[in-house]
Chains A and B, each alone.
Chain A
């Protein structure tokens, strides 16, 4: 009787490690090898390995990217997925657009007009926070404190912190923000390399010692 209540009782099985298609480049494998010397165990490589995977998978960390990390570090998929989904910078939920514009709306930024800046961006791109433009170029994302409060309101695109150099308390502050957003969007549109790939690569490179390159 109880079985009837269960819909679709058979769950798909997780892939066997030998059935995975590993996509990491040789360079990525070498980077992981170099980093192994930094820690006394393989487990400590999980965060850097997830960054490598995010770069290798185009700025996105899909289940395959997580499974590859698990296979390479001999950990379980569940554990790696648990770690990846804990941190906000691993893009596990969805693939971001070519440029993800992360708007800080936290305390000082809020006080200097971050929500106004967010509105301006939403109007300019025609999407809401959390959405990606139809052409896949821009994703808007609200984030917590970037800790660059002297530049409030501040945004992050890839590895770069950018700000309009104007607050709502300034004379003509909103107009300055709008003009800046226009310039920002034009500039980003002209950049072909996905920001999240650039960010992931920057993160990975910072781990590698000069003597290991």
Chain B
């Protein structure tokens, strides 16, 4: 399998970011078709397509759209999670910067299908260029009657606004994102069965669809070309349909976003990105920092699909694929991963708040050369005390990478703890470490 540019087909064409350029390439045909269809028919196409959430959870999208009440009793919202925070992921950034209309049209289609009244794109505040491109796209759509009142003469009104975050990874969690949009600290909310689903009571307790940027961006293709067509892509996998944009970064010759059909292998993906740079392939974290690290031998053959990745011992996740060459100290990599989660933990629940900081303290002590026997077991136990016990997925996301690395690269941890320095003693590896970690002696 090779690259399959569906969403990114016209990403290199600057005109595609304007309404004129977008429509010249067939943009908004999908919306025109959708508003001529039964709302339920649109949802059925999404069901046929097999589209699963592209933010990381892989939840069947049609179930969310279908979960909005058919008899309208309250305002309905369409919420786009554009708070791309997962380390290693930058696909939504590109979508918003280069093909923003796909997302805007996709959200409008979702609004049509679910009797939506108002949509919000929650973008992380660091993404200024992306936000400006989306702003421009929305303004143009309003001016052309493709947003706002009486869209395409249907009598249906749909508003779309942008709302920026202010620096918090947890706000990429859908319920924390809602809290943040409603003016609170970015803390997650109770989930089903403790509270109704967002499709029943989401923003301001009203029915809300929440999807990722990429998920919405797939919608125009599904409506225009049909769900059955979309489902032909990725048909070699068990249940992963369509294309997925993978953000490939790290030790590569051509880091960037690469859109591939499900069923492609990790090896093919890495080759698309120009292959490993600066040394042999050692490891790969295929789906964003939260997913389990895969060891070099054999990882090239891993098939990209939700079930397939799980069987290989990792996950598709957000599609943020970080590639590491032989001059990588895994312990250092995991230390920095632990720091990320400790800094981003919202603090609501005990296991994540205390556990992420404790893991960081232990990892930092190891990287400083003061690892103690028993540290590995202790770390593993801490991950078990967090995983599944936290209030939201961030706790799990903090625990998995540490637990996986301990299982997959135990010898590096053992070495660092025993000798007080990294097992990977090459100049290239040492050059990457922070100054205070480099001065570690024997």
Do residues A108 and B183 form an inter-chain contact, with CB atoms below 8 A?
A: no
Do residues A51 and B434 form an inter-chain contact, with CB atoms below 8 A?
A: no
Contact with A along B65-89 (1 / 0, CB 8 A): 0000000000100000000111111
Do residues B185 and A82 form an inter-chain contact, with CB atoms below 8 A?
A: yes
A99 to chain B, nearest CB (A): 15
- In whole angstroms, what is the CA distance A88 to B340 when docked? 13
Do residues B434 and A89 form an inter-chain contact, with CB atoms below 8 A?
A: no
B169 to chain A, nearest CB (A): 7
Q: Cβ of B131 < 8 Å from any Cβ of A?
A: yes
Interface size on A, residues (CB 8 A): 56
Do residues A169 and B249 form an inter-chain contact, with CB atoms below 8 A?
A: no
**What residues of chain B lie closer than 8 Å to A124, measured between beta carbons?**
none
Do residues A86 and B186 form an inter-chain contact, with CB atoms below 8 A?
A: yes
User: Which of B85, B344, B433, B434 has the largest number of chain A CB atoms within 10 A?
Assistant: B434
A126 to chain B, nearest CB (A): 15
Do residues A111 and B333 form an inter-chain contact, with CB atoms below 8 A?
A: yes
Do residues A51 and B166 form an inter-chain contact, with CB atoms below 8 A?
A: yes
- In whole angstroms, what is the CA distance A125 to B254 when docked? 31
* Residues of B249-282 whose CB lies within 8 A of A: 249-251, 255-257, 277-279
Given A145-B169, A209-B142, A156:B126 Cβ within 8 A: yes
Do residues B162 and A206 form an inter-chain contact, with CB atoms below 8 A?
A: yes
Contact with B along A142-181 (1 / 0, CB 8 A): 0011111111100010011100000111000010000000
* Residues of B91-131 whose CB lies within 8 A of A: 93, 123-129, 131
Identify A148's interface contact among B90, B164, B433, CB under 8 A: B90
Do residues B86 and A147 form an inter-chain contact, with CB atoms below 8 A?
A: yes
Query: Of B44-52, B307-315, B319-327, B383-391, which stretch is located at the interface?
Result: B319-327
A85 to chain B, nearest CB (A): 9
Do residues A150 and B204 form an inter-chain contact, with CB atoms below 8 A?
A: no
Determine the residue in chain A with the shortest Cβ distance to B135: A206
Do residues B249 and A150 form an inter-chain contact, with CB atoms below 8 A?
A: yes
**What residues of chain A lie closer than 8 Å to B186, measured between beta carbons?**
86-87
Do residues A116 and B166 form an inter-chain contact, with CB atoms below 8 A?
A: no
- In whole angstroms, what is the CA distance A111 to B166 when docked? 26
Contact with A along B118-161 (1 / 0, CB 8 A): 00000111111101101100110011000000000000000001
- In whole angstroms, what is the CA distance A152 to B255 when docked? 9
* Residues of A161-206 whose CB lies within 8 A of B: 161, 167-169, 174, 199, 202-203, 205-206
4 shortest interchain CB distances as A-B pairs = A169-B278, A89-B167, A87-B166, A149-B249
- What are 26 A-B residue pairs whose CB atoms fall within 8 Å in the complex? A87-B166, A88-B168, A90-B166, A110-B333, A111-B250, A144-B340, A144-B344, A145-B85, A145-B87, A147-B124, A148-B90, A148-B93, A149-B87, A149-B89, A149-B90, A150-B90, A150-B249, A152-B249, A156-B126, A159-B129, A161-B129, A169-B428, A199-B125, A202-B128, A202-B132, A206-B123
Instruction: Please give 20 more A-B residue pairs, beta carbons under 8 A apart, in addition to A48-B164, A147-B90, A159-B128.
Output: A47-B183, A51-B125, A88-B168, A89-B126, A107-B322, A107-B336, A110-B333, A112-B250, A115-B432, A115-B435, A148-B93, A149-B89, A149-B247, A151-B255, A161-B126, A169-B428, A205-B135, A206-B123, A206-B162, A210-B139
